[in-house]
Amino acid sequence: MPGLAQAEQLKEVASFAGVRDNVLVGYGLVVGLDSTGDQTTQTPFTGQSLSNMLSSLGITVPPGTNMQLRNVAAVMITSKMPAFSRPGQYLDVVVSSVGNAKSLRGGTLLMTPLKGADGQIYAMAQGNLMTGGAGAGANGSSVTINQQAGGRIARGAIVERDIPLELGDQQGKLDLYLNEPDFNTAQKVVFAINSEFGRTVASAQDAGMISLDGPASPNARVNFMARINNINVTPSKPLPKVVINSRTGAVVLNEGVKLYPAAVAQGNLAITIDTDPLVSQPGAFSGGQTATANKSKISLEQQGGGLRTVESAADLADVVKALNALGASPADLMSILEALKASGSLRAEIEII
pLDDT at 63 over 70: yes
- H/E stretch holding 122: strand 121-128
| pLDDT, position 189 | 93
Name the phi and psi angles at 223, rounded to 5: -60, -40
| pLDDT, position 328 | 73
In whole angstroms, what separates CA 344 from the centre of its chain?
32
In Å, what is the CA distance from 134 to each residue of 95, 145, 155, 160, 288?
Answer: 16, 5, 23, 34, 56
Residue 79 β-bridge partners: 24, 93
| Lowest-confidence segment of 17-21, 80-84, 124-128, 228-232 by average pLDDT | 17-21
- Name the pLDDT band for 2 (thresholds 50, 70, 90): very low
Report which DSSP code applies to 130. Answer: B
**How many angstroms separate the CA atoms of 203 and 189, rounded?**
9
Q: Are 243 and 351 in contact (CB under 8 A)?
A: yes
Task: Residue 191: name the closest of 156, 158, 231 by CA.
Answer: 231
**How many angstroms separate the CA atoms of 345 and 206, rounded?**
33
Predicted confidence (pLDDT) per residue in 240-276, tens digit: 888 888 777 788 888 888 888 877 776 654 445 565 6
Q: Exposed, middle or buried: residue 234 (CB in 10 Å: 0-12, 13-18, 19+)?
A: middle
Predicted confidence (pLDDT) per residue in 199-234, tens digit: 999 999 999 999 999 898 888 999 999 999 999 998
Report which DSSP code applies to 164. Answer: P
| Lowest-confidence segment of 35-49, 87-101, 311-325 by average pLDDT | 311-325
Higher-confidence position of 269 and 125: 125
**How many angstroms separate the CA atoms of 338 and 44, rounded?**
49
pLDDT more than 90, % of the chain? 35
**How many angstroms separate the CA atoms of 216 and 168, rounded?**
9
Helix (H, G, I), strand (E, B) or coil at 282: coil
Residue 109 β-bridge partners: 30, 127
Cα angle 13-15-18, degrees, rounded to a multiple of 5: 160
Name the phi and psi angles at 220, rounded to 5: -65, -30
pLDDT at 18 over 60: yes
Cα end-to-end distance, the chain, whole Å = 38
pLDDT at 172 over 90: no
Helix (H, G, I), strand (E, B) or coil at 234: coil
**How many angstroms separate the CA atoms of 292 and 145, rounded?**
42
pLDDT at 75 over 80: yes
pLDDT at 4 over 50: no
Higher-confidence position of 165 and 283: 165
Q: Are 155 and 90 in contact (CB under 8 A)?
A: yes
**Which value, to the nearest 10 degrees, does the dihedral of the CA atoms of residues 319, 320, 323, 327 take?**
-160
pLDDT at 23 over 50: yes
| pLDDT, position 338 | 84
pLDDT at 311 over 70: no
Task: Residue 74: name the closest of 110, 124, 24 by CA.
Answer: 110
Q: Exposed, middle or buried: residue 37 (CB in 10 Å: 0-12, 13-18, 19+)?
A: buried
Other C-beta atoms closer than 10 Å to the C-beta of 224 total 21
In Å, what is the CA distance from 273 to each residue of 278, 294, 298, 301, 312?
Answer: 16, 12, 5, 12, 42
